A and B are shown apart, each in its own frame.
Chain A
Amino acid sequence: DTEVTQTPKHLVMGMTNKKSLKCEQHMGHRAMYWYKQKAKKPPELMFVYSYEKLSINESVPSRFSPECPNSSLLNLHLHALQPEDSALYLCASSQKGSRQGADEQYFGPGTRLTVT
């Protein structure tokens, strides 16, 4: 089973709201990722967690705050977003937590976020 689940599927929020995106995997994967994808563009990496510790932050603005409560869960807390943050937010996981190389990543269905 290579399933990654994400909730909610759709989210509309105002610029002053606080919301959270959730991601879950039960494959025993040790690395989890957040990506942002705009229309007709490839996914852009935001954060990587390895063994529940933040290992990569791609200079993401502080209005995005990741959290990894345990090895199966990954959250992305959103606060004071801008309309240009509207995008598809994808979570992914991969088996290895090693910082060397990269193995196959499995993506969740994404949360389609609209900031008004």
Chain B
Amino acid sequence: RKEVEQDPGPFNVPEGATVAFNCTYSNSASQSFFWYRQDCRKEPKLLMSVYSSGNEDGRFTAQLNRASQYISLLIRDSKLSDSATYLCVVNPGGYQKVTFGTGTKLQVIP
């Protein structure tokens, strides 16, 4: 089993739709969790950290389920500008290393 797994997509959704991505991780000792977005040929940009209590930032909601070892990202009212690859990032514990998922591609269509 891979350390961090994501559905590569693509997810093609109409503007205004709600879309959710999941990401599973294999190491139950994992401590820190993040979502990044990456546009084509650009650097990853931090979208949000994922806390045990979950967190929300505008249209974006992230949740952590330690029992089932997954994190989720919910995007409400999708905009064309949300089209990007969403990377799940997990710190497996201990040192500063993080593991990136392979990313989920989102395409929001007019």
- By DSSP majority rule, is chain B's interface helix, strand, loop, or mixed? loop
- A residues near B, CB below 8 A? 2, 31, 33, 41-43, 45, 48, 50, 55-56, 88, 90, 94, 96, 98-110, 112
Q: Is the CB of A42 within 8 A of B103?
A: yes
Secondary structure at the A interface, as helix, strand, loop or mixed, is loop
Contact (A104, B34) CB under 8 Å given A41-B102, A42-B87, A42-B103: yes
12 A/B residue pairs, CB under 8 Å, sorted by A: A2-B46, A42-B87, A56-B95, A99-B95, A101-B32, A101-B96, A102-B95, A102-B96, A103-B32, A104-B46, A109-B43, A110-B42
User: Is A107's CB under 8 angstroms from B45's CB?
Assistant: yes
Q: Mark B67-110, 1 if CB is under 8 A from A, else 0.
A: 00000000000000000000100010111111011110000000
Which residues of the partner chain B approach A103 to less than 8 Å between Cβ atoms? 32
Smallest beta-carbon distance B56→chain A, Å: 17
Closest Cβ–Cβ distance, residue A89 to chain B (whole Å): 11
